[in-house]
Amino acid sequence: MDANTLIADFLNILNQVKQALFSFLPKLAGAAFIFVIGYVVARLAKALVTRFIKKLHFLIPNQKIRLRVKSFIEEKPVAKIIGNIFYWILIFFFLTIATETLGFPVMTTWLSGIVGYLPRILTAVLIGILGVIGGVILRDLVTTAAASAGVLYSEVLGILVQSVVLLVTILIGVDQIGIDVTLIENIFVILIGALLFGAALAFGFGARSSVHNILASYYLQKIYKIGDTIKIGEKEGRIISITPLAV
């Protein structure tokens, strides 16, 4: 092979590289433009979502719940987390379009998988946040209602309700991500059933005397009325009131 042939082959290779480069530069410019647009859109969406989450409590009509949600959002980085998730969803979305423009099918497929998975994470996070807020609100409501009704250990009852709400929320959130939680759900159902059965037994044994008094009072009202005089053994008295539990 003489020198002229080598030079011709080298020039041919340079010409092919030049043509490939000239054909690739427009794609690179287009991909860069798409990514810049995506970055701007993602930053804007992040700012808007973060601002919306911080003002979300204004949409709640109930003042007590509104103050509770406001306090939770201010204490926890809820708005920042949701804003960042929206940001990365848009970043990966535009990055996928950019790689498709460049002609990188393997990278495009990989990024498409991430883009399809991120909304699941967002949904799981939203469910988790709603569960935490709902658990706190229900805990306060149950604790207040139980205390007003004179129920002992009202705070424990409120914490129990909150724990159940949180556990259910976690199961739903994990399921949204795509993790099979069938076994955990079955265990949870068994535990809840056992707790309810135990509570029913405790209530049944504890309220046995009350139920007996209620039934007795019901039948006594058909026989006696207020003002009647009754005698039991050596004791005698006049009926002044008949309640569901006593005469």
* CA atoms lying within 13 Å on the CB side of residue 11: 6
243: its two tokens: 């309640």
Instruction: Going residue by residue through the chain, which has 247 residues, state the pLDDT in tens, using 9 for 90 and above.
Output: 566 666 666 666 666 666 666 666 777 788 889 889 999 999 999 999 888 888 877 777 777 777 777 777 777 788 888 888 889 889 988 988 888 887 777 777 887 888 778 888 888 888 888 888 888 888 888 888 777 766 667 787 788 888 888 888 888 888 877 777 676 667 767 777 776 666 565 555 555 565 556 566 666 666 666 776 776 666 767 767 666 555 5
Which stretch of DSSP H or E encloses residue 232? Answer: strand 229-232
- pTM across the whole model: 0.60
**What gap in Å lies between CA 125 and CA 119, rounded to an integer?**
10
Query: What is the number of other CB atoms lying within 10 angstroms of the CB of residue 223?
Result: 8
**What gap in Å lies between CA 130 and CA 149, rounded to an integer?**
28
